[in-house]
Chains A and B, each alone.
Chain A
Amino acid sequence: MASQLVWLIFLLPFLSFAVISLVVRPFLNGSARLSGYIAIAAIGGSLALSLLVLQEVIRAPGHELLIPRVTWVVIGTTELDLGLLVDSLTAVMLVVVSGVSLLVQIYSQGYMHGDAGYSRYFAFMSLFTGSMLGLVMADNLLQLFVFWEGVGLCSYLLIGFWFHRPSAANAAKKAFIVTRAGDFGLLVAILALYASSQAGTLNIKELHLLAETGALGGTFLTWAAIGIFAGAAGKSAQFPLHTWLPDAMEGPTPVSSLIHAATMVAAGVFLVARMFPLFEHSSQALATVAVIGAFTAIFAATMGLVAPDIKRVIAYSTISQLGYMMLGLGMGSVAAGIFHLFNHAFFKCLLFLGAGSVNHATGTFDMRQMGGLRRRMPWTFFTFVIASLSLAGIWPLSGFWSKDEILAVAFQGNFILFLLALATVFMTAFYSFRVIFLTFAGSYRGGASAGAGHGSQGDGHGAPSLHESPAVMVVPMVALSVMAIISGWFNLGGEFSGFLGEKAHPLGFFGALANPLALLSLGVAVAGIVAAYGVYGARWVSAEGLGRAFAPLYNVFIHKYWLDELYETVFVRWFLYTFIFGLMELFDTYIVDGLVNGAASLALGGGRALRRLQTGQLQAYGMAIFLGVLALGLIMVLIR
């Protein structure tokens, strides 16, 4: 396969972005549907090429393709190259990103139908996918950072897609600024690696080698790894930088789907996996990743238990699942983390598309106004249940296999983190089925018309009429539900782990049911589902009663631990407004204004003093001229 074709994988979506935004939008806006077809054709091409690359990588010795590097910039003796690093990790990510993105864009054709920003939407989606594909293929940190920021920019543009809505504009800003806090760590780490005598290179493979030989080590390596992890935590919404993700629900639902499954949040996990040799050789850095991951998993799950908005429940679930992936990575297993990323991409994408489909019918995201959709939307219901079962980790769906692997590595690593993860399994199963019972079971509670003024807005689908979504939306959901069932089976014999270069302990399809650890997690998950049925299905206990009984906990969860308020007060008001802006005001008043006024008064005072010389006395001037000539003459004589 020619190396030019590999470059095309991420250049095709960029090309589609350019064509849509430079040709279709300005000149052919009457036929906006064209932009959807262009975007889908481009990403379809990327998917086809990605599959080819995957096949080649599987065949290649050492699971790596060598692509010639291209010189980018030469500054003095510093030469910056562009290159592609195509190994097993890249190949897996390429297929996930382009596959999920293709399905989401097909679905968007139905979901965004008739939106005024139809062309703009597909232009941004192309750019988003292209940036993510470029990110996973980058072979040096600088190139990676460029695409990393491209992904951040596109998430801003897409979360704030309906920018006329103040909440959407604010959510976009928040996503951009909060992730920027993490990016700062990443940038510092990149610069430090480049400047230090220990590393001095940004090439990822060279960095791996330096870490493995021990040339790069000690405290410096730990801090560099933690800086990289800070960037990853921002993008992957790990505590304490997770607050942007629930708010990011303001974007169109397919965007949330793409952000949560394949592009934005996967970037953080990918980055840690990509730089894993650096983490591997610093136990503190690895422990940081594991602890933050495990804590985020359970922390986000608690908030998911009570959220009334279907998209927010799924968003908290994403944060929680990302915590799992980080836990897997932190426990030293890239394969476990990436395998969960792989499976999660399909079922989480499906959950969001399901939520979008529900919104398409009811016009709201508030589950208190839903109910009874099972008979009206059988396909959505069916696929949503599959995705939820997979998310809950029920045998033999995909989520079971990867979650079980993470639990297994956590069990070997640290018992406390394992218990946290196990508790999260229960909560995950509970909130997943809480959504199902509230949305699809019981009787219909009125949709958007009942929810007017409840703050939970729909995606502009106007007057709702209960109906199943069109085929263009249902078909991608069915395709994803197939993946949500089978994607876990790729590692039945340890093939997936082996491909990523790790030894696996395969359980086998039925063997898993004989493994005590797997049975334990399965039992916990089933218990969660039964508990959800008890509260929201059969109503053995009323949900309101539970909320009152555990009022303090309920308040903490529903208010998201008051973290938004805390950040607002501490960082925005105190730090930004009072401290930074206060300092700037002082600087402006005393330094900038001082300089300007000082220059003016210097000129004024100087003028006042010097004008005394102008006496108007003709003869004084004459004398001065004479003395001046005399002085010049003297100087001439003396110099000669």
Chain B
Amino acid sequence: MTVGLQHYLVLSAVLFSIGFYGAISKRNAVVILMSLEIMLNAVNITLVALSRYVTPVAMTGQVFAIFVMTVAAAEAALGLAIIIAIYRSRETVDVEKIDLMKW
């Protein structure tokens, strides 16, 4: 069996769905952050796979994936910082209890 474009895309879709499920359903803010990382990486796989199979000469997809990783790192750092700040003031990281931004 040769691994083709479809396999990468299916893998990416599966990873994205798992990540999305985690982001929507988990209550722990840290787990949600992890799920977001999974979703980002699923997108990265798609970018690299498409770049490799569709436009093999121009390396746009790969370059873009590097950017995503950079942003994801920054985002993770920021997210964790926020979560720690919230934990310090409210002693919880349960997103259902962090609901002050409403009417």
Listed in ascending order, the chain A residues whose CB lies under 8 Å from chain B are 611-612, 614-619, 622-623, 626
Cβ–Cβ contact B99 & A622, under 8 A: no
Please tell me if B100 contacts chain A, counting CB pairs below 8 Å: yes
Tell which of A612, A615, A626 touches B99, judged by Cβ atoms closer than 8 Å.
A615
A626 CA / B36 CA spacing, docked (Å): 14
Please tell me if B89 contacts chain A, counting CB pairs below 8 Å: no
Which residues from B are CB-within-8-Å of A617? 95-96, 99
A616 CA / B98 CA spacing, docked (Å): 8
28 contacts between A and B (CB under 8 A): A611-B103, A612-B103, A614-B102, A614-B103, A615-B99, A615-B102, A616-B98, A616-B99, A616-B100, A616-B101, A616-B102, A617-B95, A617-B96, A617-B99, A618-B95, A618-B98, A618-B99, A619-B23, A619-B24, A619-B25, A619-B32, A619-B95, A619-B96, A622-B23, A622-B24, A623-B24, A626-B20, A626-B24
Known contacts A611-B103, A619-B32, then 20 further A-B pairs from the complex at CB < 8 Å, ordered by chain A residue: A612-B103, A614-B102, A615-B99, A615-B102, A616-B98, A616-B99, A616-B100, A616-B102, A617-B99, A618-B95, A618-B98, A618-B99, A619-B23, A619-B25, A619-B95, A619-B96, A622-B24, A623-B24, A626-B20, A626-B24
Quick one: closest B residue to A617, CB to CB? B99
Which residues from B are CB-within-8-Å of A616? 98-102
Instruction: Tell which of A614, A618, A623 has the most Cβ of chain B within 10 Å.
Output: A618
Which residues from A are CB-within-8-Å of B103? 611-612, 614
Which residues from B are CB-within-8-Å of A619? 23-25, 32, 95-96
Instruction: Tell which of B23, B24, B103 has the most Cβ of chain A within 10 Å.
Output: B103
Which residues from A are CB-within-8-Å of B98? 616, 618
A626 CA / B20 CA spacing, docked (Å): 9
Which residues from A are CB-within-8-Å of B100? 616
- The total of Cβ contacts below 8 Å across the A-B interface reads 28
Contact residues of B between 81 and 101, Cβ < 8 Å to A: 95-96, 98-101
Instruction: Determine the interface band of chain B, counting residues with CB < 8 A from chain A.
Output: 10 to 19
Query: Interface readout for B30-50 with A: 1 if CB under 8 Å, 0 if not?
Result: 001000000000000000000
Quick one: closest A residue to B99, CB to CB? A616
A36 CA / B20 CA spacing, docked (Å): 95
Which residues from A are CB-within-8-Å of B23? 619, 622
Closest 10 CB pairs of A and B: A616-B102, A616-B99, A611-B103, A614-B102, A618-B95, A616-B101, A619-B24, A614-B103, A622-B24, A623-B24
A619 CA / B23 CA spacing, docked (Å): 7
A423 CA / B77 CA spacing, docked (Å): 113
A630 shortest CB reach to chain B, Å: 11
Which residues from B are CB-within-8-Å of A626? 20, 24
A624 shortest CB reach to chain B, Å: 11
A604 shortest CB reach to chain B, Å: 14
A614 CA / B54 CA spacing, docked (Å): 43
Quick one: closest B residue to A611, CB to CB? B103
Which residues from B are CB-within-8-Å of A615? 99, 102
Which residues from A are CB-within-8-Å of B102? 614-616
A614 CA / B100 CA spacing, docked (Å): 10
Quick one: closest B residue to A622, CB to CB? B24
Which residues from B are CB-within-8-Å of A618? 95, 98-99
Quick one: closest A residue to B101, CB to CB? A616
B96 shortest CB reach to chain A, Å: 7
A622 CA / B36 CA spacing, docked (Å): 12
Which residues from A are CB-within-8-Å of B101? 616
A99 CA / B24 CA spacing, docked (Å): 99
A293 CA / B96 CA spacing, docked (Å): 93
B32 shortest CB reach to chain A, Å: 8
Query: Interface readout for B1-45 with A: 1 if CB under 8 Å, 0 if not?
Result: 000000000000000000010011100000010000000000000
B87 shortest CB reach to chain A, Å: 15
A612 CA / B102 CA spacing, docked (Å): 9
B102 shortest CB reach to chain A, Å: 3
A42 shortest CB reach to chain B, Å: 76
A623 CA / B20 CA spacing, docked (Å): 9
Which residues from B are CB-within-8-Å of A614? 102-103
Quick one: closest B residue to A620, CB to CB? B24
A618 CA / B83 CA spacing, docked (Å): 14
A611 CA / B102 CA spacing, docked (Å): 8
Quick one: closest A residue to B98, CB to CB? A618
A623 CA / B32 CA spacing, docked (Å): 13
A88 shortest CB reach to chain B, Å: 86
A42 CA / B32 CA spacing, docked (Å): 96
B51 shortest CB reach to chain A, Å: 22
A611 CA / B103 CA spacing, docked (Å): 6
Which residues from B are CB-within-8-Å of A622? 23-24
A616 CA / B101 CA spacing, docked (Å): 5
A616 CA / B94 CA spacing, docked (Å): 13
Quick one: closest A residue to B95, CB to CB? A618
A427 shortest CB reach to chain B, Å: 86
A623 CA / B100 CA spacing, docked (Å): 19
A612 CA / B23 CA spacing, docked (Å): 23
A619 CA / B32 CA spacing, docked (Å): 10
Quick one: closest A residue to B26, CB to CB? A619
A198 shortest CB reach to chain B, Å: 69
B40 shortest CB reach to chain A, Å: 15
Which residues from A are CB-within-8-Å of B95? 617-619
A611 CA / B98 CA spacing, docked (Å): 18
A612 CA / B103 CA spacing, docked (Å): 8
A85 shortest CB reach to chain B, Å: 76
A197 CA / B47 CA spacing, docked (Å): 78
B13 shortest CB reach to chain A, Å: 14
Quick one: closest A residue to B23, CB to CB? A622
Which residues from A are CB-within-8-Å of B25? 619
A626 shortest CB reach to chain B, Å: 7
Which residues from A are CB-within-8-Å of B20? 626
A610 shortest CB reach to chain B, Å: 10
A89 shortest CB reach to chain B, Å: 81
A611 CA / B101 CA spacing, docked (Å): 12
A618 CA / B20 CA spacing, docked (Å): 13
Quick one: closest B residue to A623, CB to CB? B24
Instruction: Tell which of A612, A616, A623, A626 has the most Cβ of chain B within 10 Å.
Output: A616
Which residues from A are CB-within-8-Å of B24? 619, 622-623, 626
B22 shortest CB reach to chain A, Å: 11
Which residues from A are CB-within-8-Å of B99? 615-618
